[in-house]
Amino acid sequence: MTPPTPTPILGLRLTPMPLVRGGWTRVIERTFVVYRKAWLVFLTGMLEPLFYLLSIGVGLAALVPAFTLSDGTPIGYTAFIAPAMLAASAMNGAIFDSTYGVFFRLKYQKLYDVMLATPLRPRDIAVGEIVWSLGRGTVYSAAFVLIMVAMDLTSSWWTWLALPAAMLIGFAFAGMAMALTTFMRSWQDFEFVQLAIMPMFLFSATFYPLATYPEGLRLVVQATPLYQGVALERALTTGTVGVEAVGHVAYLVVMGVVGLRIAAHRIDTLLLR
Amino acid sequence: MPDPTTAPLVRARALTKSYGDFQAVRGIDIDVAPGEAFGFLGPNGAGKSSTMRMVAAVSPVTSGELRILGLDPATDGPQIRAQIGVCPQEDTLDTELTVRENLVVYGRYFGMSRQRCRQRADELLEFVHLADKAGGKITALSGGMKRRLTIARSLVNEPRLLLLDEPTTGLDPQARHVVWDQLYRLKQTGVTIVLTTHYMDEAEQLCDRLVVMDQGAIAAEGSPRTLIEAYSTREVAEIRMGVGDNAVAADKAEGLAERMEVLPDRILLYADSGDAVLEAVHARGIRPQSTLVRRSTLEDVFLRLTGRSLGE
Amino acid sequence: MSTQPGSLEMVARQWDYFRTLFRRTWRGSIVSNTVLPVFFLLAMGLGLGGYIDDGGSSTIGISYLAFIAPGMLATNAMTMAVGESTYPIWVSFKWEPVYSARIATPLRIVDVLNGLVAFLLVRLVLTCAVMMAVLVAFGTVSSVAGGVGAVLMCTLLGLAYALPVFALSASIDDDTPFALLFRLGIIPMTLFSGAFFPVSQMPEALQWVAYLTPIWHGVESARMCTTGVVAWLPLAGHAGYLAVWVVAGWLLARRQFTARLADG
């Protein structure tokens, strides 16, 4: 065997390494490296809401009579449902990333254990994951809004705020979903996620107006976060914005912030034992 | 300010760690000097890994004092982790990344520049003989290769202190020797190493100084040589009897050696000359099926200190 | 050497394993297989259907609830079959040496495949039967024979999807193709297969694409059965078309299973 020669690899460095500023960007960078190889998966993620829109716009809309908006203007079924699809896909994307994705990395891949052996902190991980999820959601939402405009499904300059609104919806659900994920014990628990999302998707005034429901049920529907998102997006793309919009925004902001705080705290107690 | 060249890199006083009612570490004192290779030797469940997690600044101290690189892990965790390298017991390589990307991305977690990360990755792949696998998938690597890559990963940030938790557990003998060779070369360049192991040969190969841990406490401390001198004899004569004959033979051999241990499958007789003991054994009319004379090892030290074998 | 036992015997030998697996997982499947379809029928069939039926411009001839109910039954069978034949199979090949362990016993590769098919078949029948009970509760099934017929057709449909996907799962190393299969295959097939609106609404070229997919045949035949408007020759045609997919899929799966397991 050759005698060991000191190589630059094994240097003894006495100057302390500077702390990582914006450690969360490093968490995103890793995801970016992974997705660079799976760009097709990234791109096709955009198609799902579009398929829904086309299915309903091309096929179902012919069967459904026009609805009237809160101010009495009639609206075609495709234009009625498009903002709801935008809100629902923002929710779905955020929840998928923050539940299955986070659970896999937390419990199976042990990725967060690895990250925490470096100067990165739990906060960096939570923020990094949510910002990535938001970034991806933003690309998808932007494509969807452009398609809505191209298909002439919007009727107001407020439409340009539909994109930031979709980002807000993504943030709200990502924060809360990540917080819930830290409490999950096994994949079986994710059945409950399905059990929460699916009814919300179906009943949050997505496919028909809130007025369809009897009075008491209406309050229940209005309390759900997706209803808040759908109502906000529909007000923006149809140009029927009122003071309620402030309430919708406040609801979603609080939900996201609370979720994010719980998630960072829980990752802390789960991993730094 | 203490002198950075001699101040201990790890200093623990009355350090404990509890998980609920279970006390995993029961008040230990340690000092690891710069340039030293320091080992925790003990069976599974002795509290080695819990101690390592505290030293890695990822597990809060329950009580006692702990300083790593002169810093308090409770308040300066990120600063400490920036300067140490950690090689965990299980391979936690990122299976979604290639071999080389594992090193580059890990370096980025430390805030190193992209260019520096790439340069380090290439140097380290060369060092652990994985340069030809750079673009390959993690799942295609053998157990020994994965462990070498994990060690390479722990060196990305040019750590002042390298923590290795059971570095060769689960590897075949040949792969273990490759890993030992690389750790030995690291040691030669002055990197301070703290490792845990339940293999005597590993501790003897790599450690300048070690503590024997048992049930969360330190049972003994010293270099492998001094521990053997203090807790064992120069040589050991092992005799194997037929099934069920151990007790009779042990009675007959009473007083022949400085110390005797009766194990389920053999009897160990401790003495400075193993051959002399064997002669005496024959002289007393004991007829073993097989005999062996060997030098004392840390296994014997552990047996003496705890009354149990390390493997148990 | 003793004679090789028959294939049925070999499938039966794996039964205890599958029974244990089923006992552990059936609760989760109940949620996705019953509760969610009920929600769906409430929201789309009754909620949205109310507007469609009142609108008067409907071209479907029956209530919207009765129209989408068999569509739900069929798409549900497809989704379940594809779900069960993607990740669970792939994981067993790639991460857990379950199948290699099984062929170390007297079981042959083809027995392992048939065991998986038999297990899926049982769950498909159960899933479709449970769904059928929901459909009956919503009053969308015209006769007992029709209900049984729809369950059988949808079970066949499930196998028509599962077997080619078995072959895929045995062939791939990483799971990226699954994401593409769902996004570019299963989701559009669910949405444009005539389950939620007649394919005649679509441009003619797309209609022909729909006719090629097994799901369209499943939806059409299930709808014939539940509504009681049966045209026997087309029904036989649908069944025959689905059977071709099952047989071709089985042959392909056997080839891929052999290729994967024989290499070790």
Most A CBs within 10 A among B59, B96, B177, B186, hence the mutation to make, goes to: B96
Q: At C22, which helix (H) or strand (E)?
A: helix C15-30
Contacts of A45 in chain C (CB under 8 A): 183
**C180:A38 CB<8 A:** no
Instruction: Identify residues of B whose CB sits under 8 angstroms from chain A CBs.
Output: 4, 19, 53, 56, 58-60, 77-79, 81-83, 86, 88, 90, 92, 94-97, 101, 105-106, 108-111, 120, 123-124, 126-127, 155, 157-158, 160, 181, 184-186, 188-191
pLDDT of residue A12: 42
Of B221, B188, B299, the C-alpha closest to B12 is B221
**pLDDT tens digits, one per residue of C54-110:** 876 567 788 999 999 999 999 999 999 998 899 888 888 876 667 777 777 777 888
**What are the tens digits of pLDDT across the range C182-217?**
989 999 999 999 999 999 889 999 999 999 999 999
Q: Give me the pLDDT at residue C6, please.
A: 75
pLDDT level of residue A43 (50, 70, 90 thresholds): confident
Domain assignment present for residue A31? The answer is no
Least confident of A3-17, B132-146, B294-308, C19-33: A3-17
Q: Which domain holds residue A47?
A: 39-271
Give the best residue of B105, B118, B126 to mutate against chain A (max A CB count within 10 A): B105
pLDDT for A36 equals 87
**C143-195 residue pLDDT tens:** 999 999 999 999 999 999 999 999 999 998 888 889 899 989 999 999 999 99
Place of tokens 């390494």: A17
Residue B296 tokens, joined? 């004392």
* pLDDT tens-digit series, residues C6-56: 777 777 777 777 777 777 666 666 666 678 888 989 998 888 888 888 876
Residue A4 included in any domain = no
β-pairing verdict for B37-41 and B209-214: parallel
Please state which architecture CATH assigns to domain B10-223.
3-Layer(aba) Sandwich (3.40)
Q: What 8-state DSSP symbol labels residue B241?
A: P
CB C130 within 8 A of CB C34: yes
Residue A26 lies in a domain: no
How many residue pairs from chains A and C have C-beta atoms closer than 8 A?
93
Per-residue pLDDT tens over the stretch A151-184: 888 888 899 999 999 999 999 999 899 888 888 8
User: Is A11 contained in some domain?
Assistant: no
Q: Which long-range contacts (CB under 8 A, 24 or more apart) does C183-190 make?
A: C183/A44, C183/A45, C183/A47, C183/A48, C184/A44, C184/A47, C186/C78, C186/C79, C186/C82, C187/A47, C187/A48, C187/A51, C188/A51, C189/C78, C189/C213, C189/C215, C190/C75, C190/C78, C190/C79, C190/C215
Q: Which of B3-7, B292-296, C4-8, C101-105 has the lowest mean pLDDT?
A: B3-7
Q: What is the mean pLDDT of residues B259-269?
A: 85
Return the domain boundaries, chain B: 10-223, 233-295
**CA separation for the pair A219, A216 (Å, rounded):** 6
Mean pLDDT of all residues in B3-20: 86
Domain boundaries, chain C: 7-262
Q: Give the pLDDT confidence score for residue C191 in this predicted structure.
A: 92
SS3 of residue B1 by DSSP: coil
Number of domains making up chain A: 1
How would you classify the pairing of strands A74-75 and A67-68?
antiparallel
Q: Report chain C residues whose CB lies below 8 A from the CB of A62.
A: 57, 59, 197, 201
| B32–chain A nearest CA distance, Å | 16
In a domain, A19, yes or no: no
Residue A8 domain-assigned (yes or no): no
The answer to whether A17 contacts chain B (CB < 8 Å) is: yes
CATH architecture of B233-295: 2-Layer Sandwich (3.30)
Q: What is the pLDDT of residues A209-253, one digit of tens each?
A: 888 899 999 999 999 999 999 999 999 999 888 899 999 999 999
Question: Which residues pair with residue B22 across a beta bridge?
Answer: B19
